[in-house]
């Protein structure tokens, strides 16, 4: 049976074995290197373990950027894996030309992943400003896009069959976006690398989300591998003419995606073992960028970038919710992670002081968006003792979950409210939960985020295979 699987889906078994090996090697690589990272000054304070009842924070330093050994182990394993893709029993007719083309595709993915990891590590060491680090993934995606063009990747999108005038309007069932489609793929690379980084700050959440997305994508890939065919072949070994249902090039693309993602899941699980609550290491921006690049490379070169985006629904939500802070309508403090209550170890939404805008359109936009978000219970207002709104909870998914569960910031003293922003210019407002507020632990919040991510994946499968078959009937 294993032989039959290997014959139909070359190197899939090797990929699975590398995932297991990846787990073991990455686990020990992190164990061995974490003290060195600490000694080199790569460390951070666990913001949610600081005992705020003590004058001096007692939290110890935790080694930071341990996404680096995880990414290094992954990249080595994938290099070792290269020969297995081409030498072994296979149904695919391997010619020198197809090896060249396939290897180019594989290497372009590796190049993008290497540059994503490098950017993340440089960011951890140098703390690059947002405006500089945003365009870099655009450049990292160039090799991938060139290969996408060369391999005849489609730049068309299917237009919904409903409302019916759309097809009449564009005179067809699909529209070729041409250069716009490449712009979309470049932006996708920037989005995927940054969105993991901004849904961060509680133990285990960066790796946890990446693992759920990767496993969901793997499940989607498996749907395209015709295992019925393998069973029929194994039963009737004499026949070599049993047809496979899915076209070979589609199977090859989803195999390519599994080859990239299975070792990624293995090495990420090892990192999660160290990073889950209570964290013994932090993953750093290195891991966030590395994970984003692995996922986007698999999505673009596997030709399923739109489906991939569906699995990022919680990240898209977190990004859209964050926009007023990322684009300067609401001040954005250095850290937006939830606030841990004095001496209780329970999380309440962290808050930020509102700014008065000099520009009238910014003031206008803020006066529409904030009340709407407050009405939707995604954001909680902060009032002073005189009843003026002086702040809001930070606009992140993590805080929104707390607010939706009923956590509210307490009223703050008007005297404190009018004090100018702290010396370092950080607009954060340190507010405890209102009396009787429903606060939860950091561990519980991690489970909530994972639940949201899993529900997001179920939603993605629903949209991809049920809604799409209604709205785009010709694609199914």
Give the one entry of ligand UD1, Mg ion, none that residue 259 binds, where binding means its C-beta sits below a cut-off of 5 to 8 angstroms depending on kind: none
Question: Which of 414, 441 has the CB closer to ligand UD1?
Answer: 441
Give the one entry of Mg ion, ligand UD1, none that residue 201 binds, where binding means its C-beta sits below a cut-off of 5 to 8 angstroms depending on kind: ligand UD1
Closest CB 429 distance from ligand UD1, rounded Å: 15
Hey, what long-range contacts does 182-187 have (CB within 8 A, 24 or more apart)? 182/145, 182/149, 182/155, 184/305, 185/141, 185/144, 185/145, 185/148, 185/300, 185/305, 186/138, 186/141, 186/145, 187/138
Cβ 145 vs Cβ 176: under 8 Å: no
Closest CB 198 distance from Mg ion, rounded Å: 8
Give the one entry of ligand UD1, Mg ion, none that residue 282 binds, where binding means its C-beta sits below a cut-off of 5 to 8 angstroms depending on kind: ligand UD1
Question: Which of 143, 314 has the CB closer to ligand UD1?
Answer: 314
Give residue number: closest CB to ligand UD1: 44
Give the one entry of ligand UD1, Mg ion, none that residue 202 binds, where binding means its C-beta sits below a cut-off of 5 to 8 angstroms depending on kind: ligand UD1
CA atoms of 398 and 414, how far apart (whole Å): 27
Closest CB 189 distance from ligand UD1, rounded Å: 18
Question: Which of 258, 329 has the CB closer to ligand UD1?
Answer: 329
Please, what is the end-to-end C-alpha distance for the chain in angstroms? 31
Number of residues near Mg ion (by CB under 5 A): 2
CA atoms of 47 and 49, how far apart (whole Å): 6
The residues in 123-142 that bind Mg ion, with binding defined as CB under 5 A, are: none
Question: Which of 277, 304 has the CB closer to ligand UD1?
Answer: 277
Closest CB 339 distance from ligand UD1, rounded Å: 11
Q: Is 315 in the site for Mg ion (CB under 5 A)?
A: no
Question: Which of 6, 285 has the CB closer to Mg ion?
Answer: 285
Contacts of 134 (CB under 8 A, 6+ apart): 190, 194
Closest CB 350 distance from ligand UD1, rounded Å: 9
Q: Which residues bind ligand UD1 (CB under 6 A)?
A: 44-48, 64, 197-198, 200-203, 279, 282, 285, 335-337
Closest CB 299 distance from ligand UD1, rounded Å: 22
Give the one entry of Mg ion, ligand UD1, none that residue 314 binds, where binding means its C-beta sits below a cut-off of 5 to 8 angstroms depending on kind: none
Question: Rounded to the nearest 10 degrees, how much is the dihedral formed by the CA atoms of 330, 332, 335, 340?
Answer: -20
Give the one entry of ligand UD1, Mg ion, none that residue 158 binds, where binding means its C-beta sits below a cut-off of 5 to 8 angstroms depending on kind: none
CA atoms of 231 and 160, how far apart (whole Å): 37
The residues in 192-221 that bind Mg ion, with binding defined as CB under 5 A, are: 197
CA atoms of 73 and 21, how far apart (whole Å): 10
DSSP 8-state class, residue 433? B
Closest CB 335 distance from ligand UD1, rounded Å: 3
Q: Please give the C-alpha separations between residue 349 and each of 149, 287, 373, in angstroms, as whole numbers.
A: 46, 26, 14
Cβ 22 vs Cβ 77: under 8 Å: yes
Question: Which of 4, 202 has the CB closer to ligand UD1?
Answer: 202
Alpha-carbon torsion (272, 273, 276, 280), positive or negative: negative
Residue written as tokens 């450049």? Answer: 139
- For Mg ion, the binding residues (CB under 5 A) are 197, 285
């Amino acid at each position: 049976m294993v032989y039959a699987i290997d014959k139909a889906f070359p190197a899939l078994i090797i990929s699975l074995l590398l995932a297991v090996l990846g787990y073991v090697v990455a686990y020990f690589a992190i164990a061995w290197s974490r003290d060195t990272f600490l000694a080199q000054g790569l460390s951070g304070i666990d913001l949610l373990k600081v005992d705020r009842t003590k004058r001096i924070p007692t939290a110890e330093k935790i080694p930071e950027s341990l996404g680096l050994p995880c990414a290094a182990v992954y990249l080595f394993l994938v290099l070792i894996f290269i020969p297995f893709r081409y030498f072994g029993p296979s149904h695919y007719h391997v010619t020198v030309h197809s090896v060249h083309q396939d290897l180019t595709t594989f290497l372009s993915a590796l190049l993008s992943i290497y540059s994503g990891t490098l950017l993340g590590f440089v960011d951890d060491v140098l703390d690059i400003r947002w405006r500089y680090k945003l365009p870099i993934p655009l450049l990292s995606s160039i090799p991938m896009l060139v290969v996408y063009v060369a391999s005849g990747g489609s730049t068309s999108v299917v237009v919904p069959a409903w409302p019916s005038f759309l097809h009449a309007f564009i005179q067809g069932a699909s529209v070729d976006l041409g250069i716009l489609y490449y712009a979309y793929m470049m932006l996708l690379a920037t989005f995927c690398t940054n969105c993991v980084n901004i849904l961060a700050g509680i133990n285990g959440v960066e790796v946890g989300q990446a693992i759920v997305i990767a496993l969901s994508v793997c499940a989607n890939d498996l749907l395209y591998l015709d295992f019925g065919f393998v069973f029929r072949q194994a039963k009737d070994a004499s026949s070599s003419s049993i047809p496979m249902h899915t076209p070979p090039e589609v199977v090859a693309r989803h195999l390519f995606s599994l080859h990239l993602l299975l070792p990624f899941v293995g090495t990420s699980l090892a990192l999660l073992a160290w990073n889950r609550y209570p964290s013994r290491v932090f993953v750093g921006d290195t891991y966030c960028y590395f994970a984003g690049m692995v996922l986007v490379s698999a999505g673009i070169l596997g030709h399923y970038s739109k489906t991939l985006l569906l699995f990022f629904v919680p990240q898209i939500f977190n990004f859209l919710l964050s926009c007023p802070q990322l684009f300067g309508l609401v001040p954005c403090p250095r850290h937006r992670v939830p606030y841990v209550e004095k001496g209780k170890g329970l999380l309440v939404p962290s808050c930020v002081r509102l700014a008065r805008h000099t520009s009238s359109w910014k003031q206008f936009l803020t006066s529409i968006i904030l009340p709407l978000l407050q009405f939707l219970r995604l954001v909680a207002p902060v009032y002073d003792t005189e009843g003026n709104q002086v702040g809001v909870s930070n606009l992140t998914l993590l805080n929104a979950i707390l607010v939706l569960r009923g956590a509210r910031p307490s009223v703050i003293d008007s005297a404190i409210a009018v004090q100018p922003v702290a010396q370092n210019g950080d607009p954060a407002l340190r507010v405890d939960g209102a009396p009787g507020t429903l606060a939860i632990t950091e561990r519980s919040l991690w489970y909530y985020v994972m639940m949201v991510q899993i529900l997001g994946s179920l939603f993605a499968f629903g949209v991809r295979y049920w809604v799409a078959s209604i709205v785009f009937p010709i694609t199914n």
